Structures are given as C-alpha cells and as structure tokens.
Chain A
Amino acid sequence: MTPFRASMHWLHTWVGIALGTLLFAIFWTGSLSVFYKEIDRWMMPMTRLELPASVSLDAMRPAADALAHGTNSPHWKVYLPTANEPVPNVIFQSKTDSATLFPDAPGNIMARRFLDPNTGDLLEDPGTLGGDFLYSFHFKLSMRRFPVGYYPVALAGMAMLALIVSGILLHGRIIANFFLFRRQKRARASLDLHNAVGILGLPFHFLITLTGLIFFYNLHYPLALSIPYGEDAGGYNREAIAAYARPEAGIPAEPASLDEMAAEAARIWGRPVGTVRVYHPGDKNAYALMMPRDDGAVSDVRDSLFFDVPSGKLLHNQVAKPALATERFIAGLHLIHFRHWPVRWLYFLLGLSGCVLIATGFLFWLESRRKRHAALGLQGVRFVEGLTVGSTTGVIIATLGYLVANRLLPSTMPVRAAAEIGCFYFGWLAAFAHAWLRPGSAWYEQARTIAVLAVAAVVLNAATTGDHLLRTIARGDWAVAGVDMMLLVGAGIAAVSARALSHRQIAKVRQVA
C-alpha cells in the first residue's frame, strides 16, 4: 500500500473514531430538524391550531411589546404563520429562562412564545423548547447561555469533509463495488453498506456538510471579514447585512399600522412578508425590519425593508449583492425552507443514511479488530463497542426520553423545559453507562428500549391530548399524525432489529458453548 493511501487510511480511521459520536448526533438531530416544526406541534398541544385566512400584525403588537418590555435594548421578532407552522411566534430577549436551572439569572437568552393566530393574544407558556431544542442541538449543541457550541459542530463538520474525501481516496474498487451489499457475512456487510451509502450518497453528504459550514461563515472566519476593512472592524456587517440601525430616542410615540407596512413590503417584493422585527417598540425612533417569506425559492433570502414605525415611511431597502446572494442560495440548500415535500422527505431519509454511514463505520472497525484484540487482550474493541452503542441507539433513546418526558411532566412545574432537556441528557448518559457495563446484550436491550419508548410516546400523546392517530388523520393534522406514524415505524424497525440481534446472540452463545 502506498504511503499516501496508508495516510488516508489512518486519517479516516482515527478521525472517524474520535468524532463519530458527535457526527452521529449532528446527523440524527439534523434529520429530525427537517420536521422540527411538526415536532413542535406534537410537543406543544396548545399550538395545534388551524392556519387562519389572514393574520393581523397590529393585533399581535400589544403582546409582543409586553414581552420585549424592560430589557436593555428592547426588540421583538415575529414569524408570521405558514402551512407547517400555523401559529405566529415571537422571539424576544427573555428576562427569565425556564429552559435552564436558574430561571432568574440575567437574561440575554432569546425565548420563544406563541400567539393565537386569530386574536393575536399570547398563548399559555408551553413550558418546553419543543422541536427547537433538537434543531439548535444540531448546530450549536443547544447551549443557550454561552454560545460555544457552534465550534465543536464546525470542527466536526470540517472533519466530516475530511472523512468523505479520505474515504473516496482510500476506496479501492469504486466502480466494481458500486451496487454491492453482501449482507450475509457480518464484517463484509457493514463495510459494503458503509461504502454503498458513502459512494452513492456522496453528493448529498458532501454538500450538506459544506453548506452547513458555509452557513455560519461570519462565526467561523471573523478575521477574514474584519482585516480587509482595516480600522473599520464592523464594516462587513454594515455593508452587506445590517445596513440600517438607529438608537433609541427615549421619547414615546404612537406606532402606525404594521399591517399597512407589511402590505407595502409585499407590494415591493411581489411576495408576502415572512418575519417582522421591531426595534425600540413604542419609541419615537422605533423601526421595523421586514423580510419576505422564504418558502417559494431555494435561496434563504434576507433582503430587508426598513420602515419608520411612527409614520410608516420606508427608510431603506437592503438587497443582497451577487456574492452574498450566492451564499444565501448555498444556505438555502441546507435549510430547505422551500415547499417541496418530496425533497424534504429525501433530505430526511438521506440524513438518516448519514447516520447509517457513521454507524456502519463503527461496526466495521469493531468487526475487523474483534478477534485480534481478544487474542492480544487489548481493550480497544470493548471501549469502542460501548461508545458505538451509546452514540447510536443511545442518542435515539435520549430523543425518545425527551418526547416522553414532554408528555409526562406536569405543566405547572417550575423549570419544566430544563427538566425535559435533563431527561434527554440523562437518557443519553444512562445509555452509555449501560453499553459499557453490559457489552454482550447492549444492542439488543437498547433496541428493545427504543421500541417500547416510541410506542409509549404515541400512547401518551393520545392519552394526554386526546389526539390519537385516527383523529389527527381525520382532521388533516399531518404534523401530529406524521410524528406519531414515524414513531410507530421507528418502533417497528427497532423491534425487528432487536429480534435479529437476539437470534445472533443466541447463535454466538451456542458457538462458544
């Protein structure tokens, strides 16, 4: 083997083992994030409402102003309802945060509350982060107070690119083995499946990883953004992104009609408004930033219109220039906000195939070293086997624990959102401990646990909200019905896997005996 090929081998193996756990979690939560709004509906029953014919921003303004009141630089952001999120929601800087253990700590956390789509009134506090926890875990490990989670994810993303390229470069027989999957023998089965998913899924895996990295370019390349501007460090932001800002005046003033400003914005763009941000609400210098709804095209447009709130006058029109528009298109390829259900489902399935890629990589590492480590008395296989189980079935158990806790925890509980998140991490740690303590039967027992938890989640949804599967399908609530159905499908797959694993274990025991 040439030194180059051997280097690729070494790199692929070691980076894979070191970062496989984090990468599996990122691919898993990323796949679920395709449907994070549907998971929101499942986890927050009070938001299972119908999309109204029209919504009024002016009706929402009192509730939003009240939420933003009292912070350093008050502002709020409203997402107008769409088909898969029929309730408007407000993002605001929260003075307290029920998703941490210290709810009264000084707030620089952005919180989210939902509004009634017809009246604009605040809905009761859902007491959960919902699908947004999984979504933000995917790109920042859901660390709310200290924004450091972005960086391990970025490192893992760059490592994934290196894994993909090294995997291609070390693969010997790409064309000959293109459609090959010899599932009879364990070692070959895992390698063949790993190669098949890796080669056949190459465009998806490479592009989803690269687009995900590019999305956060301003976090990851701050020097490259600031050095070309010399003394003017904030120059890039000012030229390309936040083209308009003005400070508070300290003088109260009555706002004009936000609905009329939205209509003007829709007229200028040719499509409706998607999000509205108001800075310094109730002030003379209040201004509104409106962005269009982004479900029509691929690009994740952030072209903004700035309005003077007291008068309704248009202040500034920010349109992206070509290179930035390219980056927005690249971001849109990752976020897939556009309405196209076949592509969203394919992204979901291909994301899960990424999980299969990582899992089979671990499995092949284990199978190709099991005999040698047992003969030499090395502990590597034992450690990595526990790591594999915890990384794969473990994070799935954690997610299901999060959903089940959502249905079981009482709504009057003080730090309910934090408790749910605690169940997620506790489930994950427990899975790791179980995997290391009971190596022989870990796979089987965790597969069984997944099946049980998934069915329990569906049953609990029906029991606690009355929205059982027949009722949600009858009323056309595909969000909740879809989550229930996917839970049942997942339970089925887990149950079948458990049966297959138990047969293999019985056979292994018989071989030894």
Chain B
Amino acid sequence: MRSGAGAGVPSASLSYAVPHPAPDHLQNPWAIAVRVVTAAVGSYFASSGLAALGAVILAFATGIERSEAVMVNVLAAFLTYLIMAMWAFCERRLPVVVIAIWLGAIATHALAVFLVSLAGATA
C-alpha cells in the first residue's frame, strides 16, 4: 500500500542507477572473457544438450511422438540458455561456472547420443 509521504515520494538520488564499480568477480579482464565465452557459447551448447537429452528421455518415458518431445524441449531450451547465461555472470566462483556449463554441455550431448544408440540397438 502506498501510505504517507515517505514511500510515495520517488528517490531524489539515483544511487541505484549511477555507475558503480564492477563486483569483485568481474574485475579481471581474463575472467570476464572466460565468462563471456562460457555464457554465450557454453550455455548455448549446455541448453542444446539438455534439450536433446530431455527429448530422448521424454519420448521413451511417455511414448509421445519423437517430434513432439523434441519440440517441447526446444521451447524450454531458449529459457534454460537464458538462465545459464545469466548465472555465468552472477556466480562468484569462476571454476564452478566453467566446469558446470562446459562439462554439462559435453555430458548431456554424450548421454543423449549414447541413449539413442542404445535404443537403436534394441529396436
């Protein structure tokens, strides 16, 4: 509720908006470069792998048609890409970011390919 003069008067200072020094984990140019590449490229592959893996699991678990399972997962992939990319800049510990995203990208793709080949062999 807006009550009283205090809460209703907009801040005269722009303290929440004016230039601030970058947080500690975004000071070093090399760290920034690694985070940028991880956010732009690594998160993309991580979201793609997650979508592939999710589609394979969804199709085999529920029996819905493969193209439908793929579509549902691809729609979600745009949002997982966004979340992971933003997380790459928020998380303080750089090794955690790099390992989680790049390893996740490789692992999800590999697991998806492996599961499909299993299903292909048994079909």
Considering only residues 155-212 of chain A, those with a C-beta below 8 Å from chain B are 155, 158, 161-162, 165-166, 170-173, 175-177, 180, 182, 187-188, 191, 210
Contact indicator B52/A224 (Cβ below 8 Å) = yes
In this assembly, does B73 line the interface, its C-beta being within 8 Å of a C-beta of chain A?
Answer: yes
Name the one of B18, B78, B89, B116 contacting A11, with C-beta atoms under 8 angstroms: B89
In this assembly, does B11 line the interface, its C-beta being within 8 Å of a C-beta of chain A?
Answer: yes
Contact indicator B109/A323 (Cβ below 8 Å) = no
Contact indicator B85/A158 (Cβ below 8 Å) = yes
In this assembly, does B107 line the interface, its C-beta being within 8 Å of a C-beta of chain A?
Answer: no
Contact with B along A295-323 (1 / 0, CB 8 A): 00000000000000000000000000111
Expressed in whole angstroms, the minimum distance between the Cβ of B84 and any Cβ of chain A is: 11
Expressed in whole angstroms, the minimum distance between the Cβ of A92 and any Cβ of chain B is: 30
Contact indicator B48/A173 (Cβ below 8 Å) = no
Contact with A along B28-65 (1 / 0, CB 8 A): 00000000000010000000110110011001000001
Q: A3-B92, A155-B40, A214-B75 are in contact. Are A228 and B70 (CB under 8 A)?
A: yes
Contact indicator A187/B14 (Cβ below 8 Å) = yes
Contact indicator B11/A173 (Cβ below 8 Å) = yes
Q: A176-B10, A177-B10, A227-B113 are in contact. Are A321 and B67 (CB under 8 A)?
A: yes
Contact indicator A172/B116 (Cβ below 8 Å) = no
In this assembly, does A339 line the interface, its C-beta being within 8 Å of a C-beta of chain B?
Answer: no
Residues of B within 8 A of A155 (CB): 40
In this assembly, does A248 line the interface, its C-beta being within 8 Å of a C-beta of chain B?
Answer: no
Contact with A along B55-98 (1 / 0, CB 8 A): 11001000001111111111101100110011001101000000
Residues of B within 8 A of A166 (CB): 86
Q: How far is the CA of A196 from the CA of B109 in the complex (A)?
A: 42
Contact with A along B11-29 (1 / 0, CB 8 A): 1001011111111111000
In this assembly, does A53 line the interface, its C-beta being within 8 Å of a C-beta of chain B?
Answer: no
Contact indicator A224/B70 (Cβ below 8 Å) = yes
Name the one of A165, A223, A369, A372 contacting B82, with C-beta atoms under 8 angstroms: A165
Binds B, one of A95-103, A113-121, A231-239, A501-509: A231-239
Q: A1-B20, A7-B23 are in contact. Are A223 and B109 (CB under 8 A)?
A: yes
Q: A172-B11, A172-B16, A191-B14 are in contact. Are A240 and B67 (CB under 8 A)?
A: yes
Q: How far is the CA of A165 from the CA of B73 in the complex (A)?
A: 22
In this assembly, does A230 line the interface, its C-beta being within 8 Å of a C-beta of chain B?
Answer: yes
Q: How far is the CA of A267 from the CA of B31 in the complex (A)?
A: 63
Expressed in whole angstroms, the minimum distance between the Cβ of B8 and any Cβ of chain A is: 7
Q: How far is the CA of A30 from the CA of B40 in the complex (A)?
A: 24
Contact indicator B65/A321 (Cβ below 8 Å) = yes
User: What's the dominant secondary structure at chain A's contact region?
Assistant: helix
In this assembly, does A71 line the interface, its C-beta being within 8 Å of a C-beta of chain B?
Answer: no
- Chain A residue with the shortest CB-CB distance to B57: A228
Contact indicator A236/B70 (Cβ below 8 Å) = yes
Name the one of B10, B23, B65, B69 contacting A180, with C-beta atoms under 8 angstroms: B10
Contact indicator B52/A227 (Cβ below 8 Å) = yes
In this assembly, does A383 line the interface, its C-beta being within 8 Å of a C-beta of chain B?
Answer: no
Residues of A within 8 A of B120 (CB): 230-231
Contact with B along A1-44 (1 / 0, CB 8 A): 10110111111010000000000000000000000000000000
Name the one of A161, A165, A326 contacting B75, with C-beta atoms under 8 angstroms: A326
In this assembly, does A368 line the interface, its C-beta being within 8 Å of a C-beta of chain B?
Answer: yes
In this assembly, does A341 line the interface, its C-beta being within 8 Å of a C-beta of chain B?
Answer: no
Residues of B within 8 A of A223 (CB): 48-49, 52, 109
Q: A224-B52, A321-B65, A321-B68 are in contact. Are A9 and B75 (CB under 8 A)?
A: no
In this assembly, does A213 line the interface, its C-beta being within 8 Å of a C-beta of chain B?
Answer: yes
In this assembly, does A283 line the interface, its C-beta being within 8 Å of a C-beta of chain B?
Answer: no
Q: How far is the CA of A460 from the CA of B85 in the complex (A)?
A: 49
Residues of A within 8 A of B17 (CB): 172, 191, 364, 368
What 5 new A-B contacts, CB under 8 Å, besides A3-B24, A369-B19?
A: A161-B82, A223-B52, A223-B109, A239-B67, A321-B68
Q: List 17 A-B contacts (CB under 8 A).
A: A10-B23, A10-B26, A175-B2, A214-B75, A217-B75, A217-B78, A221-B74, A223-B49, A224-B73, A225-B74, A227-B113, A229-B66, A240-B71, A323-B68, A323-B75, A364-B17, A368-B14
Name B's A-contacting residues (CB within 8 A): 2, 7-8, 10-11, 14, 16-26, 40, 48-49, 51-52, 55-56, 59, 65-75, 77-78, 81-82, 85-86, 89-90, 92, 109, 112-113, 116-117, 119-120
Q: Which 3 A-B pairs have the closest CB atoms?
A: A172-B16, A224-B51, A323-B71
